[in-house]
Structure 1
Amino acid sequence: MPSVTLSDVAREAGVSLATASRAINGSANRTVRPELQERVLAAAARLGYSPDANAQAMARGRTATLGLIVHDIADPYFSSIAAGVTAAAEAEGLMVTLASTGHQPEKELAFVEVLQSQRARAIVIAGGRQDDDEVNSRLRAALSVYQARGGTVALIGQPIFEVHTVAIDNIGGSAELARALHGIGYREFAILSGPRRHLTGAERTEGFLTALAELDIQVPAERVVESAFTRDGGYQAMTELLRRTGARAQPQMAVFAVNDVMAMGAMAATRDAGLAVGVDVPIAGFDDIVTLRDVTPGLSTVAVPLLEAGRSATAMALSAVTGEPVVERLGGEVVLRDSTPAV
């Protein structure tokens, strides 16, 4: 039996094909009188007509999807944000299309272009920005085009684009952590800083160093180690720090890894070197990712409300707010655990 077409519905309802399309698929700029829409929908029901999702998206100008772009979905930081985005999107009747860049900025740009071609209603981008004018300019231009064509955007990271942004207080949180560690007796420190051009790592390093300087403590340059912003990066940075410091126990020196997954890598490297975390080498992180519940000893960190960040960014992306972009700043709370016992 041949499938029912939109033309069949239009003929059954006694309206034009264009009117039938607008009644069923919607329209970005034209409406149908209620009595005509009821007639068309009744005809569609009698004939058993099923509308085409792509046709509806074309007619309305946008699909019922929200695009979420993250740096690494395997990182619990981003999976927690994704949970917040998904919950907020589903509450609005939207589906989430997820893309993970693997920390490659060019993929981020490509995903924005794909989501634009798919007519996603909104895009949320989560992750710290790079100190790279060329990369930022290209992404800024792509987002401007997407917005000019009716899409809306929100970012979780640094507010360097003309879009709504949820900004984590990286500087304030790391400064509070430095002061808290100083408060329980630490006077020597090292930092696993992440890549030099990663703005989140740079901000957290800056906040930590600035707070220590205010306490009249300087961190030697050889104790600030760069690496990838990942678990393996933390492992490699800690291995290098132990090499520089003689691979020996230093219970008076607190090591700050600028995110929790790096801290977990650092803890593994410490154990592999035959040292005990929290006894021979105190370690702290930043984010309070959910997997820390299963880490021993418990990791001292700065707890960031990641689910709230995801929900807030989604609300921003779906809002009808016009004018100047809104920046919402989220602070963190220092949580001291057994990985940094009092000295």
Structure 2
Amino acid sequence: MSDDTHREGPAGPARPPRLVDVAQRAGVSLATASRALRGREGVSPELAAHVRSVAAGMGYVANPHATTLAGGVTRVAGLIVYEIGDPYFSEIASGALRVAGENGWSVQICHTERAPHAELAQIRLLRAHRVGAIVMAGSGYVDRTDEAGAHRELLDFQDAGGRVAVIGRHHLRCDAVLPDNRGGGEAVAGHLLALGHRRIAIAAGPEHLTTVQDRLAGVRHALALAGLGTAAVPVVSADFTREGGRDSAERILRDHPGTTAVLALNDTMATGVLSVLRERGIDVPGRMSVAGFDDVQVAQDLAPALTTVALPMADMGAAALRLVLGPAPARPRRRTTGHRLMVRDSTGPAPG
């Protein structure tokens, strides 16, 4: 085949390269080229990489609409998050998008605002669009009936050949990436206790989320090790948002005026806590220490910089995509993450 086949000539622009052109240039059969570009089994990694390189060099772009009409699925992964504007989920999405791009896939993002009925609707919508994989990121629910509908729909999708992975959910029978919420909760609470704080208040997210309960379990374990009863540490529940953090801070200052440290169970809430303390003229950390959880990118740029628990959020998104793009497992796999305590300027010794 001449190198001029797809160039613009006197008669006008040449047609775009087709799959058969890629197969001929790569020296493989049409079926092998198709399997290589769609990530299907039966092609060695070296040969698949060669075909993808040839396709990229020729400017070949698959037609996912035609694939769908032919009864197949697209090279699109659906990513379901609670709110893409939340830094936690945007960082997860960045890792997922990176791995998808490296493998010739794209990602369709949708969000549910932590409503179980919206999760179910989004899963059904993604299935109607014939996505090849679904990744659902975010906390599960303490009451399993809240996620039963989504679970059934995901199992049906798997049974039909789709690939599924979840991030931060314990109970669904599929591949999962599980952040170390308990370990992180214990570490950050232990840090505050080591600074001499005994009047600690927790700015927690909604009680029905397993992420909140797991982080609280770690905090309570640290309290027990220090001989501090959990009844002495108030837990103020609000939305997992900046406004939820503000609401929690206002209630803590009103109902627990002796508090010397506030532990917010995510960084977005911690941002709201800091804003209220700044408005009230309360010195951080001289009068009140504040800690968060997650280590979103802006945490170190806050004033003061936020002490928090770092989770590898971008890596979590990347790991979930790798799970659904790899060979199907015989049984669900679990990938657990570590955590790191990031001590910054927002925490200091207990006053007095």
Which residue, 268, 280, 283 being the options, matches 2:275? Answer: 268
C-alpha change, 1:56 and 1:335, in structure 2 (3 Å) is same
C-alpha separation in 2, matches of 1:311 and 1:318:
11
Corresponding residue SS for 1:255: strand
Q: Distance in 2 between matches of 1:189 and 1:220?
A: 11
Partner of 2:90: 79
Pair 1:319 & 2:334 matched: no
1:204 aligns with 2:211: no
Seen in structure 2, the aligned counterparts of structure 1 residues 255 and 162 have a Cα distance that, compared at 3 Å, is same
Cα drift, residue 218 of structure 1: 2.2
In structure 1, the residue matched to 2:72 is 61
Structure 2 CA distance, aligned partners of 1:225 and 1:81?
27
Q: How far does residue 214 in structure 1 lie from its aligned partner after superposition?
A: 1.4
5+ long unaligned stretches in structure 2: 1-17, 19-29, 41-60
1:1-343 equivalence runs, <5 A: 53-59=64-70, 61-220=72-231, 223-246=234-257, 250=259, 253-343=260-350
- The amino acid of 1:66's aligned partner reads A
On the 8 A contact 2:200/2:233 being kept in 1, the answer is: no
TM-superposed CA distance for 1:222, in Å, is: 6.9
1:342, distance to aligned residue in structure 2 (A):
3.0
> Which amino acid counterpart does residue 330 of structure 1 have in structure 2?
T
Deviation for aligned residue 1:274: 2.9
Contact 1:159 1:327 in 2 (8 A): no
Q: In structure 2, the residue corresponding to 1:232 is in which secondary structure?
A: helix
Asked if structure 2 preserves the Cα contact closer than 8 Å seen for 1:66 and 1:94, the reply is yes
How far apart are the structure 1 equivalents of 2:113 and 2:345?
Answer: 32
Give every structure 1 segment of 4 or more consecutive aligned residues whose post-TM-superposition deviation is greater than 3 Å.
21-27, 50-53, 219-222
Kindly provide the amino acid, as one letter, of the partner of residue 67 in structure 2. Answer: Q
Letter in 1 for 2:240: F
Between 1:163-172 and 1:187-196, the stretch displaced more is 187-196
Cα offset for 1:220? 3.5
Distance 2:195 2:216 in 1: 20
Q: Deviations over 1:125-184 (max 9, x none)?
A: 110111222222111100011111111011100221001000011111110111222223
Measured in 1, the distance between the counterparts of 2:222 and 2:62 equals 60
Deviations 1:75-111 (A, max 9, x none): 1111000000000001110011010112222111111
Aligned length: 301
Within 2, Cα distance between the matches of 1:23 and 1:282? 60
Seen in structure 2, the aligned counterparts of structure 1 residues 51 and 205 have a Cα distance that, compared at 3 Å, is closer
Q: Helix, strand or coil: the match of 2:298?
A: helix
- 1:25 Cα deviation from its structure 2 partner: 8.4
The alpha-carbon distance between structure 1 residues 223 and 52, as it changes in their structure 2 partners (threshold 3 A), is: closer
Provide the C-alpha distance between the structure 2 equivalents of 1:53 and 1:23, rounded to a whole number of angstroms. Answer: 18
Q: CA RMSD in A?
A: 2.6
Task: Measure, in 2, the Cα distance between the counterparts of 1:191 and 1:64.
Answer: 43
Quick one: structure 1 residues 275 and 142, their matched pair in 2 at CA, closer, same or farther if it must change by over 3 Å? same
Mapped contact 1:190–1:219 kept (Cα < 8 A): no
- 1:184 and 1:285 map into 2 onto residues whose CA distance is 16
Once structures 1 and 2 are overlaid, which stretch shifts more, 117-126 or 130-139? 130-139
CA distance in 1, matches of 2:208, 2:109: 25
**Which runs of 5 or more structure 1 residues have no equivalent in the other structure?**
1-8, 10-20, 30-49
* Matched-pair contact (CA < 8 Å) for 1:67–1:120: yes
User: Displacement, 1:271?
Assistant: 1.8
Q: For residues 24-68 of structure 1, what are the alpha-carbon distances to aligned partners after superposition, in whole Å with 9 as ceiling and x for unaligned? A: 9889x9xxxxxxxxxxxxxxxxxxxx9864221233621011111
SS of equivalent residue, structure 2 residue 107 = strand
When residues 216 and 24 of structure 1 are mapped into structure 2, their CA distance, relative to the original with a 3 A threshold, is: closer
Q: Which residue of 2 aligns with 1:17?
A: none
- Cα deviation for residue 269 of structure 1 reads 1.7
